[in-house]
Amino acid sequence: MGVDDFRAEARRALERMLEDAQQTDEREALIERYTDELTILYGRHAHALLTEVIEDARMRLDARLSPDPIRQTIATMQTTVQDLWNALWGPGDIRR
């Protein structure tokens, strides 16, 4: 899951909202419903991203603690902080 997946799902939700807006005059109820839906969507994607980052950091830490010197050498060339930073704020720009 990434920014593109979140964007696609948010777009589908907004398209549904616009369709629903043409069929009802209850603007406040519609806004509340889709605000809740987008909040849940954001939470799901944020949780998936954090899980991915933690799993990657765990694998790298396991490699650093490994008795195998080759795995240790490879692992120490990349710091966990850099990996976390790249995973969270990576090369893609969230603002489009």
Largest CA distance in the chain: 67
Q: Which helix (H) or strand (E) holds 18?
A: helix 3-23
Per-residue tokens: 21:
């807006």
Q: What is the pLDDT of residue 87?
A: 72
45-75: pLDDT as tens digits:
888 888 888 888 887 777 767 777 776 666 6
Q: Kindly state the average pLDDT of the residues 16-39.
A: 88
**Contact (Cβ atoms closer than 8 angstroms) between residue 61 and residue 80:** yes
Distance CA 60, CA 79 (A): 9
Distance CA 69, CA 75 (A): 10
Q: What is the pLDDT of residue 63?
A: 72
